Amino acid sequence: MAIRQILEFPDPRLRKIASPVTVFDEKLEVLIDDMFETMYEAQGIGLAATQINVHERLLVIDVSEEKENPLTFINPRFEIIEEELSEYDEGCLSVPGFYETVSRPRRIKVSAQDKKGEPFEMEAEGLLSTCIQHEIDHLDGKLFVDYISTLKRQRIRQKLEKEHKKSA
Ligand code: GNR
Ligand code: NI
């Protein structure tokens, strides 16, 4: 297994739209294992392939306290079950150190494929619902900072650009 580098805002590669996964092979399983290792090491609760510069439609999530409930979603889509919104202070491994409140539909039904290509559906609410929507946004080139004011987003961009120059 390997830890992959996580792209950081405002890297333009985070804006690419990912393509569907069509081949369910050993290489895909290695990618999934690397994504879990990278996510756990970074202490995140989710990771989209886009964040490690792989522009394919898959994501991994583990919102459990004990980090014992790994979930893999390939070619995920969701429908809103309840229009009611929930607010979460969202963070992102690609926007390190910044947290902002984002409102998203509270309950969704997710349809996806597992690592063997087998379709499945599940309902999600609360933090899991938020996290799935946050990750699917990544596959569409979107970030949580797109939901906040332009002024806040520009401040975050400036601060991260400064950090990136320092460590370059
Ligand atoms: O680790 C993460 N925490 C988090 C908290 C609230 C809402 C969404 C998230 S996802 C984030 C990991 C990440 O950047 N996934 O793309
Ligand atoms: Ni993120």
67 contact partners, CB below 8 Å, separation of at least 6: 40
Q: How far is CA 114 from the centre of its chain?
A: 17
SS3 for 94-115 is: CCCCCCEEEEEEEEEEEEEECC
- Band of residue 52 on the pLDDT scale cut at 50, 70, 90: very high
**pLDDT tens track for 92-134:** 999 999 999 999 999 999 999 999 999 999 999 999 999 999 9
Residue-level pLDDT at 84 = 95
- Given a cut of 90, whether residue 83 has pLDDT beyond it is no
Which amino acids bring their CB within 6 angstroms of ligand 1?
44-48, 51, 88, 90-94, 130-131, 134-135, 138
Cα–ligand 1 centroid distance for 47 (angstroms): 8
Pair type for strands 71-90 and 100-113: antiparallel
